Structure 1
Amino acid sequence: MTEVDTAIAVGSGHVPVLATPRLIAWLEAATVEAAAPYLRPGQTTVGISIRVDHTRASAIGTQVEVSADATPDDSGRRITFLTKAIDDTGASVGGGTIVRAVVDREHFLAANAR
């Protein structure tokens, strides 16, 4: 974790510790990677729900590892991820549940073009 990851840098607080929005972004990135084995060509996922707890402050220089375990629903239209973040001491930094919808990338882009 560096200065660009702090609450001060991202505008979410006034202390130089890991910003909650940055933690959420890292967790979401882990879900994108974890979703890949469940997608067919032309598909992608979009986030639709996030429930994350940020339970421990992390100072600049702390290493934080994030992970996501995927559970697709029976319809193949949603994937629920159990996420977690662990620091370099083995302590939990946070985690929670993120749900992503599976969409056809081209159709999604066409439907949301401006």
Structure 2
Amino acid sequence: MKKGTVMNSLEIGQNYTFTRVVAPQHTARYLKSGDLLVFGTPAMIAWFEEAAVTLIAPTLDDELTTVGTYLETKHLAPVPVGGRVTITATIQNIEGKRITLSMQAHLGKTLIGEGTHQRVVVERKAFMAKADTMAAERGL
């Protein structure tokens, strides 16, 4: 078992930060979200979710995980290939199984993206059973 459930091990203000270099596969052109060779919004969103998961996961029992349920994002400035983007996820609120995080992306001191992200704690087996049922009902 890990540290315990999210309700008694995460705290408001707790955060996780990582820095990555923007590569061609992170660009709007590569991700088909535009045609420019700059950091694409889909990559920023994926990095936001990765930071949130990395922050929360170590606090959960093994049978639990989180799923993203809400994301509001602003992409504020371009970043060229080779730029070093720093992503930070910070716990803003915990209501039962719902965790709200603020997300920020910086290029040096410049804020290039921000948002609000929510994740909900779920039981792995029950969640996958629901997904399997939905797939079976649709012949997938």
TM-score by length of 1: 0.92
Q: Percent identity?
A: 33
Distance 1:74 1:64 in 2: 30
Distance 2:94 2:85 in 1: 29
1:56 maps to which of 77, 85, 88: 77
Aligned positions of 1:1-114 closer than 5 A: 1-75=22-96, 77-87=97-107, 89-113=108-132, 114=135
Distance 1:44 1:106 in 2: 10
- Specify the code of the residue in structure 1 equivalent to 2:124: R
- Specify the code of the residue in structure 2 equivalent to 1:83: M
Change (3 A) 1:110 1:72: farther
The answer to whether the 8 A contact 1:35-1:79 is kept is no
Count of residues in Structure 1 that have an aligned counterpart in Structure 2: 112
Distance 1:34 1:16 in 2: 30
Deviation string, structure 1 residues 24-62 (Cα, Å, up to 9, x no partner): 000110010111244223110001000011001000100
- Specify the code of the residue in structure 2 equivalent to 1:63: R
The answer to whether the 8 A contact 1:67-1:84 is kept is yes
Report the Cα offset of residue 72 of structure 1.
4.6
SS, match of residue 24 in structure 1: helix
Change (3 A) 1:94 1:66: same
Report the Cα offset of residue 90 of structure 1.
1.6
- Specify the code of the residue in structure 2 equivalent to 1:19: G
Distance 1:81 1:39 in 2: 16
The answer to whether the 8 A contact 1:35-1:70 is kept is no
- Specify the code of the residue in structure 1 equivalent to 2:112: V
Instruction: Give the unaligned 5+ runs of structure 2.
Output: 1-21, 136-140
